[in-house]
Structure 1
Amino acid sequence: MILMEKTMRWFGPADPVSLRDIRQAGCTGVVTALHHIPVGEIWPVTEIKKRQELIETAGMTWTVIESLPVSEDIKRQSGNYQEHIENYKQSLRNLAECGLKVVTYNFMPVLDWVRTDIAFTLPEGSKALRYDRAAFIAFDLFLLKRPDAEKDYTAEEKERAEALLATLSEEARTTLYNNALLGLPGSNDRFTAPQVLQALQTYAGIDENKLRQHLFYFLQQVVPIAEELGLQLAIHPDDPPFSVLGLPRIVSTEKDIRALLDAAPSPANGLCYCTGSLGVRSDNDLPGIIQRLGDHIHFIHLRNISRDKAGNFFEADHLLGDVNMFAVVRELVKLMERKQVSIPMRPDHGHQMLDDLQRSTYPGYSAIGRLKGLAALTGLELGISSSLAEASPQ
């Protein structure tokens, strides 16, 4: 019986969720990154090994990087992008020298992820991450005041956003503004509207087609190096999988994924299969993506979302949202049996609950909510694996 390698994300020594917490949750591996190294610079072997030793001393392994970030210069093909690509290649060499295996990254412009509420209270009192479309439109139109933003929304959407804004106090407006920009790298420092608008302006003239060509060029440069080194590159889908703030999104559908795989054909060119990001779109066939593109799935994020037709969604219990987690895990179990490999997985996000309601952690990454998700997913996987094993001919 082949099971997924159980991991959790760790944000480094300053993370209030400790390595001991992660090991006690039942994980054998840790997913982390060297967040202190500026984007575009080389990850030195000494720094990689220092992080590796911390994890191994805690009794776990580090085989998955999340993430080795791609600079905005590379995404725009501007400034020092050629130097940054060469630095990326050297970082890959250094990671391979230290024995790491999977390198996660994304190609989302400016914002890595977007939510409007990081403490959405559920009926039983736990808190979740939520994206409210009317709230985001209100932020875009009336708080950020992005030029020409009104062209991206219907009259009905603008009317709903304005009505929502009228109900918000100044404190609530400030909270919305800050929440909407948490996916902006470095946003622990409060970015001003002019700074954000300037960052958006750097993508003027870059549409989906041009950004896609920039991604393909990047892959064609780094994938051969990764293959030579025995590394697996795993791109994370867009979160959420649609345009925000007028920025193009190009890793949102199965068609998008197929295009980037075709751009640099290689076993090293692959996907971080995130059920939460892909699941926001009802037109994404999540079990089908595993069936058709499973050979390129190198890392797994399992989380669930509850969505509605208005474009809103929130992080649901790992087994109980609109993602059919039973069907997803069944296909993953069958994939691993066919390939005879264990794919690393982490329970992505989790509700803030119990004692963690009194603790401050990175949004979505409290300890107990992820522990609950890991327990549920592990039980589901074991049940499916045992059932399939009993049903197969001896």
Structure 2
Amino acid sequence: MKESWRWFGPLDTISLGEVAQTGARGVVTSLHDIPYGEVWTVEAIRERQAQIEGNASLGLTWNVVESLPVHEDIKRGRGDLSRLFANYRQSLVNLASCGIHTVCYNFMPVLDWLRTHHDTPVRGGGRALYFDEATMAGFELGILGRESAAEDYAPDAIERGLEWVAQATDADKDALLDRLMAGLPGAYDRFTVNGLRDVLTTYAGFTNTDLRASFSRFLAEIVPVAEELGIRMCVHPDDPPRPVFGLPRVVSTAGDVDWILAQDDSLANGVTFCSGALGARADNDILKMARRFAPRTHFLHLRNVAKAPDGSFGEAAHLEGDTDMVALLRIWLGEEARRRDEGRVDWDLPFRPDHGHELGPDVGRAAHPGYPFVGRLRGLAELRGVLAALEAPRHHRP
């Protein structure tokens, strides 16, 4: 399996030298400064490649794009989308011409991943990401003023959330909004409360059926070109895998993934298997889903979560939490062996340790939330150790 590391380009407080120190050799990144919907030019792609690969002593390569963003109008299915689809296809052509063939993307409306807390204490003074149902209910009802959110939360979560809002200062509320916006990568503007209300009105009455129709059109427009180019498109699951802000979610369950893969049976239409995002939903059987979707999985996000009965969840250490990571890695090694036996050139699955705890010198370093250095290094080391142990019998047979 190809050890990889997410790097946020020049915006990242973690240097490429430090990335190389982790032992990872693949770099997962994006061109965050290019507005959504615009073409990624060959020049821009090569400039980023030169940053990553220019120092040969580091031994790094840009092996996965995360993400090539899907413009919001494509998700809404609104207006003349021909230019946006053409630009997306041209970006894929340009990436392939530069030797990059794995492209992660998501189809979540408005926001990327979402957490209510970034500094939940863990053993010894570290800090972790957390999604708290009550805080989210309080934000939606007491700050955003989305009255229909009362249908989305349990009465106890609503009560606790509104109690928090009642005693929170303006600074507390602003800090919560900042945390909710942190999943938007790169240099893009974050929403104010009024701005978030405005953008949500553009999805008023928009259902899962509507979003699936937009997604189906996207796949029809993009997958044939990706297949010609040898590109593996891999959609990332919703995070959290449930509706938020009344927005539809269509990449949250096994049934959702079945539907996506059925739209086009090409290997170019695949999945980013995120064990943390999918694992945050109580009715998702992670090991069963991994076995089921392994043949169409092209990229792995490996992390663990610990779920609470009310739907809240926190980022656990990679070998802790609710998912049996050893069993999961055994599935991916088996899939790699199957691909090798078939003679496939893409058998070596890229993976990255996803979301880590802030540990030791991470605290105060101002890394992108969820992407500290030491915490992810711990996760990668743990995953590497499990993989070495699982592969040992194969390498040491008499």
* TM interval, short-chain normalised: over 0.9
Farther-moved stretch of structure 1 (178-187 vs 220-229)? 178-187
Residue type at the aligned position of 1:30: V
Aligned to 1:351: 357
2:177, 2:193 within 8 Å by CA — same for their partners in 1? no
- 1:209-253 Cα offsets, whole Å, 9 max, x none, are 110111011001100100000000010000000000000000001
1:74, 1:82 within 8 Å by CA — same for their partners in 2? no
Residue type at the aligned position of 2:387: E
The answer to whether the aligner puts 1:360 opposite 2:366 as a matched pair is yes
Q: CA separation of 1:26/1:186 partners in 2, compared to 1, >3 Å: closer, same or farther?
A: closer
Aligned to 2:2: 5
Specify the SS of the correspondent of 2:9.
coil
Point out where structure 1 has 5 or more consecutive residues left out of the alignment: none
Identity of aligned residues (%): 44
Aligned to 1:122: 122
Aligned-pair RMSD on alpha carbons?
A: 1.6
Give the TM-score of the pair, scaled to structure 2: 0.94
Aligned to 1:236: 236
Aligned to 1:47: 44
What is the CA–CA distance in structure 2 between the aligned matches of 1:156 and 1:359, rounded to whole Å? 36
Residue type at the aligned position of 2:358: Q
Give the TM-score of the pair, scaled to structure 1: 0.95
Farther-moved stretch of structure 1 (277-286 vs 44-53)? 277-286
Aligned to 2:11: 14
Displacement of 1:186: 7.0
Residue type at the aligned position of 1:127: R
1:274, 1:302 within 8 Å by CA — same for their partners in 2? yes
Q: Given the alignment, which residue of 370, 374, 389 partners 2:376? A: 370
Point out where structure 2 has 5 or more consecutive residues left out of the alignment: 341-346
2:133, 2:153 within 8 Å by CA — same for their partners in 1? no
What is the CA–CA distance in structure 2 between the aligned matches of 1:80 and 1:366, rounded to whole Å? 41
2:236, 2:274 within 8 Å by CA — same for their partners in 1? yes
Specify the SS of the correspondent of 2:10.
coil
Displacement of 1:286: 1.5
- 1:347-374 Cα offsets, whole Å, 9 max, x none, are 0011111111131110011111111100
Moved over 4 A (4+): 184-190, 388-391
Residue type at the aligned position of 2:351: M
What is the CA–CA distance in structure 2 between the aligned matches of 1:133 and 1:335, rounded to whole Å? 36
What is the CA–CA distance in structure 1 between the aligned matches of 2:326 and 2:268, rounded to whole Å? 28
Q: CA separation of 1:173/1:73 partners in 2, compared to 1, >3 Å: closer, same or farther?
A: same
Residue type at the aligned position of 2:324: N
The answer to whether the aligner puts 1:275 opposite 2:275 as a matched pair is yes
Aligned to 1:308: 308
Specify the SS of the correspondent of 2:124.
coil
Aligned to 2:296: 296
What is the CA–CA distance in structure 1 between the aligned matches of 2:294 and 2:95, rounded to whole Å? 25
Map of 1:1-394 to 2, 5 A cutoff?
A: 4-58=1-55, 59-184=59-184, 189-340=189-340, 341-387=347-393
Q: CA separation of 1:186/1:199 partners in 2, compared to 1, >3 Å: closer, same or farther?
A: farther
Displacement of 1:288: 1.6
Q: CA separation of 1:30/1:184 partners in 2, compared to 1, >3 Å: closer, same or farther?
A: closer
What is the CA–CA distance in structure 1 between the aligned matches of 2:186 and 2:296, rounded to whole Å? 31
1:68, 1:103 within 8 Å by CA — same for their partners in 2? yes
2:302, 2:353 within 8 Å by CA — same for their partners in 1? yes
What is the CA–CA distance in structure 1 between the aligned matches of 2:248 and 2:44, rounded to whole Å? 34
Displacement of 1:265: 1.5
What is the CA–CA distance in structure 2 between the aligned matches of 1:290 and 1:321, rounded to whole Å? 17
1:73, 1:80 within 8 Å by CA — same for their partners in 2? no
